Structure 1
Amino acid sequence: MASIFTKIVNGEIPSYKIAEDDNFYAFLDINPNALGHTLCIPKKEVDKLFDLDEETYAGLMAFSRKVAIAMERAIDCQRVGVAVVGLEVPHVHIHLIPLNSMKEMTFQHKVNLSPEEFEKVAEKIREFL
């Protein structure tokens, strides 16, 4: 059965897309730790980060870097934090989280946004790609 992220890539579930290429997809986390919290995924469905082949792993890191640089320009933050947890969805994903304090990395601190706010943030990040 396809993961929720595969369904997002296939357009079966909507997302606030940030960036996409032939192999990777970035979109806003709908339960964000901070404004601009973004997920970067390979389009190929693989459960664990270190099960990716070397080329896909390196490509995901390069894609995530590009997105993180745009996020730092678009979002008022001290830096963009990176987390790979992987327990909540069986599809490799990198969390890119704009940080101004450590609480934003705890996954216990969440912010609520309206659909309009999500779209505004996504557009602002896309402007810097």
Structure 2
Amino acid sequence: MASIFTKIINREIPAHIVAEDENYLAFLDIMPLVKGHVLVVPKQEVDYIFDLAPDALAGLHLFAQKVAKAMDKTIKCTRIGVAVIGLEVPHVHIHLVPLRTMDDINFTRPKLKLSSEELAEIAEMIKKGF
């Protein structure tokens, strides 16, 4: 069964996509820790990040770097935090989280509930950073 991320990749369900190439996709987390929280995924459906082939793992991080630099240009924050947890969805994903404090990347705190309009505005803002 395809993961929710594969369904996003295949455009079976909507997402606020901020970047894409032939191997990777970046989109806003719909239940973010902070505004601008982005998920970066490989288009190849693999559950565990360390099961990716070395070139795919490297490519994922290089793609995430491009996205983080675009976020740096467009989101007010001290820096972009990076987390890989891998328990929520059985599909490799990197969290890119705009940080102002250490608590901004605390996954145990309540998530934000943003409207589709707010998410669309944030996605457009990040796209302008490329």
Q: TM-score range by the shorter chain?
A: over 0.9
Q: In the comparison of the two structures, how many residue pairs are matched?
A: 129
Q: For structure 1, which segment, 15-24 or 105-114, has the greater mean C-alpha deviation from structure 2 after superposition? A: 105-114
Q: Which residue identity lines up with residue 4 of structure 1 in the other structure?
A: I
SS at match of 2:58: helix
Offset of 1:18 from its aligned partner?
Answer: 0.4
The aligned runs of 1:1-129 (5 Å cut-off) are 1-107=1-107, 108-129=109-130
With normalisation by structure 1, the TM-score equals 0.98
Is the partner of 1:46 in helix, strand or coil?
coil
How far, CA to CA, are the matches of 1:122 and 1:93 in structure 2? 18
Letter in structure 2 aligned against 1:38: V
Q: Give the 4+ runs in structure 1 shifted more than 4 A.
A: none
Residue deviations 1:46-92 (CA, integer Å, cap 9, x gap): 00000000010000000000000000111100000000001010000
- AA matched with 1:30: I
Gap regions ≥5 residues in structure 2: none
TM-score (norm 2): 0.97
1:110 positional shift? 2.3
Does the 8 A contact of 1:103 with 1:109 survive in 2? no
SS of 1:95 mapped into structure 2: strand
| TM superposition shift of 1:109 | 4.1
Cα deviation, 1:66-123, whole Å, max 9, x if unaligned, reads 0000001111000000000010100000000000011111111422211111000000
How far apart, in 2, do the equivalents of 1:32 and 1:104 lie?
10
Partners of 1:40 and 1:119 in 2: CA distance: 17
Identity value in percent: 56
Cα-Cα RMSD? 0.7
